[in-house]
Amino acid sequence: MKLAGQSAIVTGGGRDIGLAVAKKLAAEGAAVAINYFSSGAGADAAVAEITGNGGKAFAMQGDLTKQGDVDALVGKTVADFGGINVLVNNAGGLVERKKIAEMSDDLWDTVMDLNLTSTFRMTRACLAHMTKGAIVNLASQAGRDGGGPGAVAYATSKGAVMTMTRGLAKELGPDIRVNALCPGMIDTDFHNVHTPDAGRRGFEANAPLKRQGHTDDTANLVLFLATNDSAFMTGTNIDINGGMLFS
């Protein structure tokens, strides 16, 4: 097992990509702390599955835009597992599609806090307990191409996560590697809510791989970046979009 004896935190781990990541890391031997905000049923089911297979895991509700919730999650992880080796900053969201001319200050701040500030706060809190390991951030294809209609705030926040990834790689090397994923159309509730079905069918027709991505596609890449299989990679923002955008 590639992560035997190690511990990991997965934020936003109650559904979709985060849920697949939590299960994947646990299957490779990691003890996993699963943060969730509203997807408690999925997080609890993942814990039951992981512990039922002989692994270690717990789920904890928390709003990672609040420092107290960040500190509680990190503190319990250290108390239960003895330290932190892998941090997966997956929590985030688009919130709603809104053009900049129509956007309130509150919505802008909410999107930035959810995607960018939560990543900063989780990273800062974990670094007090990480001497060696890997941080994997979830950015987005939107950070490369500006996103779809009404997604400027989201795209901006994810572009900032990409830049943070590069800067952290230089600041934290050689002992901690920092990389990010830039997912495109992955079959998740995110797109169920924010992307019309016609857009998804159009993607499938035009993508070189002729399908949407699966959450396991992203989880496999997170696993790669979290282990020594990617030992000479840091500061990268890796596209995973079925060939729809080349960078």
The CA radius of gyration of the chain, in Å to the nearest whole number, is 17
Beta bridge partners of 8: 32, 86
Give the DSSP per-residue string, 30-66.
-EEEEEESS-HHHHHHHHHHHHHTT--EEEEE--TTS
Q: Which of 132, 133, 154 is nearest to 143 (CA)?
A: 154
H or E segment to which residue 133 belongs = strand 133-138
Q: State both tokens at 100.
A: 């900049």
Q: How far apart are CA 76 and CA 126, in angstroms?
A: 12
The packing angle between helices 152-172 and 118-127, to 10°, is 20
* Residue 81 CB neighbours (<10 A): 21
- Report how far Cα 37 is from the mean position of its chain's Cα atoms: 14
- Active-site choice (36, 37, 81, 154): 154
| Cβ 63 vs Cβ 110: under 8 Å | no
> Residues in the chain, how many?
247
| Cβ 29 vs Cβ 2: under 8 Å | yes
Is position 36 annotated as part of the catalytic site?
no
Q: Which residues are catalytic?
A: 154
